[in-house]
Amino acid sequence: MQAAFDVVGLDVNEHVVVDPEFVRPPDPVPLVGDPSKARAVLGWAPRTGFEEMIEAMVEADLRALGGGGEEQVRETLARCFGHPGLILRCC
């Protein structure tokens, strides 16, 4: 989440509260992808890093909302990350 907030210059800790009731226990096995086989067999390599991808997604959402402004940023982040366990602070 911090990567998305970084795009718009906000600190996630100042805007998000996690409700412990909705936090699930960690998965017994880490869910992590490994592209090494695709790289070895196909010669594939990612062209976009994680932070760059998040930046593009947030900027696309801001454009779709009409440009920016702090309230629109909050709405975008709420739409991207909003679920019952997250509460975006209004102030």
The domains of the chain are located at 2-88
- Contacts of residue 7, defined as CB under 8 A and 6 or more positions apart, other chains included, come to 54, 55, 58, 59
42, pLDDT greater than 90: yes
- Contacts of residue 82, defined as CB under 8 A and 6 or more positions apart, other chains included, come to 88
52, pLDDT greater than 90: yes
More confident residue, 15 or 89: 15
What pLDDT does residue 12 have? 84
Tokens of 9: 């210059």
